[in-house]
Structure 1
Amino acid sequence: MERLALIESPGPGGVPGPDDTPGWLCALLENTRVTDICINGTSAIFADSGDGMRKIPTGAVWDNDAMMRWTLARLSLAGKTWDARHPFADACIPPCHRLHAAFPPVSGPGMLLSLRRLPGLARNNSIVQNTSAERIARWGAGNGHYQALVEATIRGDSIIIAGSTGSGKTTLACDLLSEVPPEERIIALEDTQELSPVHPHFLSLASRPPNADGCGEITLRTLLRQTLRMRPDRIVLGECRGAEVLDLLQAINTGHRGAMATLHASSPRDALRRIELLCLIASGGSIPSALARELIASGIQWVAHIGRHGPARIIKELWQIAGREGDTILMRKV
């Protein structure tokens, strides 16, 4: 009954923004327990408040035209565009959500919207404090994994955070980056700007897809190369998925310590295999596997694998990279 009441009433104040947001969506966006909202066309709404996706009985209808107007308005406010040749779009929705939209005909007869609550951003026009005590409580102090990562972050070790979709990679990255000494300059490179640690000198650069004429693309690889001219103390890749991984490893191995990146992978060892594969693809075969592994072994010190345990997100495994022996990257489980 509590969930239904929260959905049927938008609550005091509503969500800051244009007035065309339906009341039931306002309620879901304001509910801090709701991490994900999936809207499948005009009839099915699902939300995850920590116990998996559940269908929401809103008792309301959101027609295609209204949904399209709402979505295009948010994309416009974020400086994003959509056209028939690019039927997908991403944008951040103030104060603390990321929007992904899939348009017909790729999405079928109706639009598909996915909204995710982002960690560390402003809520209700105030900044989330996200203190060290809150971060420790979120990740648990029992096995010492989070504290080990905090110490590694402060020390300037380079860290890979691996896990599946929705496992909490961005949340952990935000929490660790909040521990970076305040005199250091952090520059994050992202496709959609999601990271927002509590830090006085944090900057975020966003990639850009090509326009309808195929021009104007700005890739993560381009951003990384520009970042090297911006006096970064820490370089952060919001998500490793392409050639930018090789550039990041080369930057680390030429003195840019304390890097951090997230990666979709099912285990720490799988994360390293995926990084190696991305390096080989990026080089076009010009570097051998042995050199890619050397770059990984000398550049990365820690791999954290995170996931869900019931409603909680936990650090499932923490491995320290201990160098290389022959063609094998040596790892020690903490």
Structure 2
Amino acid sequence: MIPLDDAWVRECVAQSPGEAIDTQLLRLVRQQAPLATDDAVRGEVERLRSTLEGVGPLLELLADPDVSDVLINGPGPAWVERSGRLVPTSVSLTSTDIDRLLQGVFHRTGRSLDRSHPIGDARLRDGTRISAVLSPLAVHGPVVALRRRVERAITLESFSVATITTAVEELVAARRNVLVFGATGAGKTTLLAEMASLIPHSERVFTIEDAAELCIDHPHVVALECRPANSEGRGAVTLRDLVAASLRLRPDRIVLGEVRGAEALDMVWALASGHRGSLATCHAASAAGALQRLETFVAMGDAGLPHHVIRAQVRSAFDFLIGVERHGENRRISSLHRVVDDHSDAAGVEAIWQVDR
């Protein structure tokens, strides 16, 4: 009978650790409900998978198309960002609920989250990204943020007016290297995915992310994702490792989810040496600030490089910068800048277009 007993299913799965979870669940559901329709079986398998991962109490929230983020601030009601606004929900979680969620997700993904590693990131099967901080770092109990993968629900047109939309499309078509900058939650990743989806289907696209969340409408995408160190501190694969590896795998375009460290050195070197049409994002409040942050990140990769060399390489790597911001409940393109290299200490950017304030 559907639904199956969750506790019984959990015991059955625990007895077959070497078998793929989906295979086990499908077999169990078919055995217990042989007359169920295919749709009913698929729905029950999905429900059980979510329950085993610990997200059962959050299923309704994660299924809401208007919800982009689910936030847990220790035991108590969960919060969500719905249509751009933070609101509390009627879903209340206990300490046991939160522990089950974190244990289920991090155990399945092989990522560490415990007293020795109290900060962690992982990804659910549907692409939802989960970040957590445990006690005692989180004073009032574990803090958890789940960011749903955006399935192209926001179009390029919804970001901007027709004039700038056309300009962005032309930048991609002309194989310009573009850096998207803005604050957290401003829509950098969403815009990046929209731009990458404009890349001609005859080209091979590599996406490189700390945790894969880009959803790109393109037939030839190779997605690379970082791997943290194991409990012994070994086996880590960084963004820098993946950037270097991607350059040997015949990419036409590289899409770097976020530049935030020493990987900037390899990325900038590749773009400055003629690898055209690539895209990246960076946390920054302004175009000039974005270039300055890139210079800092490149220096992290090779502290021995003279500053004037770093500045010249950064300015030759990217052609244009696009700013994004929140505006009320919406996200929008706020500015378009051209990178200029006048070999001076000037900002290095020229504003082409800015949104009316």
TM-score past 0.5 threshold: yes
Higher helix share: 2
Partner Cα distance (1:326, 1:108) in 2 = 47
* 1:85 aligned residue: 116
* 1:113 aligned residue: 144
- Give the counterpart of 2:90 among 53, 57, 66: 57
Contact in 2 for aligned 1:47/1:56 (Cα 8 Å): yes
Q: Secondary structure at the match of 2:258?
A: coil
When residues 70 and 274 of structure 1 are mapped into structure 2, their CA distance, relative to the original with a 3 A threshold, is: same
What's the CA shift for 1:83?
Answer: 2.9
What's the CA shift for 1:113?
Answer: 1.1
Q: Percent identity?
A: 31
After TM superposition, the score normalised by the length of structure 2 is 0.80
When residues 51 and 254 of structure 1 are mapped into structure 2, their CA distance, relative to the original with a 3 A threshold, is: closer
Q: Does 1:19 align with 2:51?
A: yes
Partner Cα distance (2:325, 2:73) in 1 = 26
Query: 5+ unaligned residues in a row in structure 2: which ranges?
Result: 1-42
Q: What per-residue deviation string (whole Å, max 9, x for no partner) do you get for residues 264-302 of structure 1? A: 100111111111122223221x22221112112211011
Q: Does 1:75 align with 2:106?
A: yes
Runs of 4+ in 1 over 4 A off after TM superposition: 13-16, 20-24
Q: Once structures 1 and 2 are overlaid, which stretch shifts more, 40-49 or 69-78?
A: 69-78
Q: Secondary structure at the match of 2:67?
A: coil
When residues 140 and 323 of structure 1 are mapped into structure 2, their CA distance, relative to the original with a 3 A threshold, is: same
Letter of the structure 2 residue corresponding to residue 298 of structure 1: S
After TM superposition, the score normalised by the length of structure 1 is 0.86
Partner Cα distance (2:329, 2:246) in 1 = 37
* 2:270 aligned residue: 251
Please say which structure displays the higher CA radius of gyration.
2
What's the CA shift for 1:64?
Answer: 1.5
What's the CA shift for 1:112?
Answer: 1.3
What's the CA shift for 1:308?
Answer: 0.6
Matches within 5 A, 1:1-334: 16=47, 17-19=49-51, 25-58=58-91, 60=92, 62-120=93-151, 135-142=155-162, 144-284=163-303, 286-328=304-346, 329-334=348-353
Partner Cα distance (1:227, 1:81) in 2 = 26
Letter of the structure 2 residue corresponding to residue 265 of structure 1: A
Contact in 2 for aligned 1:297/1:324 (Cα 8 Å): no
Q: Once structures 1 and 2 are overlaid, which stretch shifts more, 48-57 or 212-221?
A: 48-57
Letter of the structure 1 residue corresponding to residue 325 of structure 2: G
Query: 5+ unaligned residues in a row in structure 1: which ranges?
Result: 1-12, 121-127
Contact in 2 for aligned 1:178/1:197 (Cα 8 Å): yes
What's the CA shift for 1:23?
Answer: 6.2
Backbone CA RMSD of aligned residues? 2.0
Letter of the structure 2 residue corresponding to residue 70 of structure 1: L
Q: Secondary structure at the match of 1:192?
A: coil
- Length, aligned pairs only: 307
Contact in 2 for aligned 1:186/1:233 (Cα 8 Å): yes
* 1:124 aligned residue: none
Contact in 1 for aligned 2:50/2:59 (Cα 8 Å): no
Partner Cα distance (1:242, 1:113) in 2 = 24
When residues 136 and 209 of structure 1 are mapped into structure 2, their CA distance, relative to the original with a 3 A threshold, is: closer
